[in-house]
């Protein structure tokens, strides 16, 4: 399993309720279902992925997070997970506010646009970055709103969102992000993992 998923799963307490937004083929959900909590549900836009989840015995709703999150009542889940999907939304700000409303804790991960390889691509090659976490070309990327770890931290601070845990992932090594190492982590990390609350 991806290192990112292990970190997310480790952040979740046993037998708590979880909504995985953009749950993909259900890999993370299945791990959580089998090891941490049976009270997990998913929301997924792709029909093929929904089928894969059903095959795994997972409860998934086919839907579009931007349209369908509003139907979930406030504080209805202990955790809401959004793994590397934020950048694909038309309106990430609204999605984040829905996550904060629905989940007591939200776990958001983002591919870091501040990662040095990304900067290197643009700076020296003069082309849009293609990396392990950003594998698509500019013309076929689903990503509409890329941000860096620093952008996301600023976003939370500006909105007084309680960002109570920030982790950085690079080469499968996890480390903490704090205000003293933010610029450094923003340069050296492929992925940011954030636990946020209202």
Partner 1 sequence: MNEFKDIKKIIIKKPLKLDCGVTIADYPLAYETYGNLNQDKDNAIMVFHALTGDQFASGKNPVTNKDGWWSYVIGPNKALDTNKYFIICANVIGGCLGSYGPSSIDKETGKKIGINFPVITINDMVNAQFNLLDHFNIDKLFCVTGGSMGGMQVLQFIANYPNKSKIAIPIACSASHSAQNIAFNELGRQAIMADENWKNGNYDLENKSPAKGLSVARMAAHITYLSKKGLQEKFGRKLQERDKVKFGFDADFQIESYLRYQGSIFVDRFDANSYLYITRAMDYFDLSKNSNGDLSKVFKNTKTKFFIISFTSDWLYPTAENREIVIALNAINADVGFLEVKSDKGHDSFLLDVPDFLNALKNFVDNSYKK
Name which of 39 and 94 has its Cβ closer to partner 1. Answer: 39
Give the number of other Cβ atoms within 10 Å of residue 103's Cβ. 26
Q: What is the DSSP string of the chain?
A: --HHHHHHHHTS-TT--EEEET-TTSHHHHHHHHHT-S-EEEEES-HHHHHHHHHTT-EEEE--HHHHGGGSPTT-EEEEEEES-GGG-S-HHHHHHHHHHHEEEEEEEEE-TTSHHHHHIIIII-S----SSS-S-TTT---SS---HHHHHHHHHHTT-EEEEEEEEETTEEEE--TTTHHHHHHH-SEEEEEEE-
Residues 22 and 159: their CA atoms lie apart, in Å, by: 24
Name which of 59 and 131 has its Cβ closer to partner 1. Answer: 59
Least distance from C-beta 111 to partner 1, angstroms?
A: 28
Least distance from C-beta 134 to partner 1, angstroms?
A: 29
Least distance from C-beta 72 to partner 1, angstroms?
A: 5
Least distance from C-beta 35 to partner 1, angstroms?
A: 15
Q: Which residues sit at the interface with partner 1, rule CB under 8 A? A: 17, 41, 47, 50-51, 54-57, 59-63, 71-73, 76
Name which of 2 and 56 has its Cβ closer to partner 1. Answer: 56
Least distance from C-beta 6 to partner 1, angstroms?
A: 25
Name which of 71 and 91 has its Cβ closer to partner 1. Answer: 71
Name which of 23 and 168 has its Cβ closer to partner 1. Answer: 23
């Amino acid at each position: 399993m991806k290192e990112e998923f292990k970190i997310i799963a480790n952040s979740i307490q046993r037998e708590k309720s979880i909504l995985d937004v953009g749950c993909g083929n259900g890999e993370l959900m299945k791990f959580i279902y089998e090891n941490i909590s049976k009270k997990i549900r998913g929301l997924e836009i792709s029909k093929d992925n929904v089928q894969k989840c059903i095959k795994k015995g997972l409860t998934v709703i086919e839907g579009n997070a931007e349209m369908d999150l509003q139907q979930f009542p406030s504080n209805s889940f202990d955790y809401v997970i959004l793994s590397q999907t934020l950048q694909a939304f038309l309106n990430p700000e609204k999605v984040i506010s829905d996550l904060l409303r629905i989940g007591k804790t939200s776990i958001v991960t983002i591919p870091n646009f501040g990662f040095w390889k990304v900067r290197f691509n643009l700076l020296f090659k003069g082309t849009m970055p293609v990396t392990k976490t950003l594998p698509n070309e500019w013309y076929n990327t689903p990503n509409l709103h890329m941000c860096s770890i620093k952008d996301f931290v600023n976003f939370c601070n500006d909105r007084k969102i309680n960002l109570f845990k920030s982790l950085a992932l690079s080469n499968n090594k996890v480390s903490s992000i704090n205000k003293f190492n933010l610029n450094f982590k923003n340069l050296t990390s492929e992925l940011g993992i954030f636990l946020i609350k209202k």
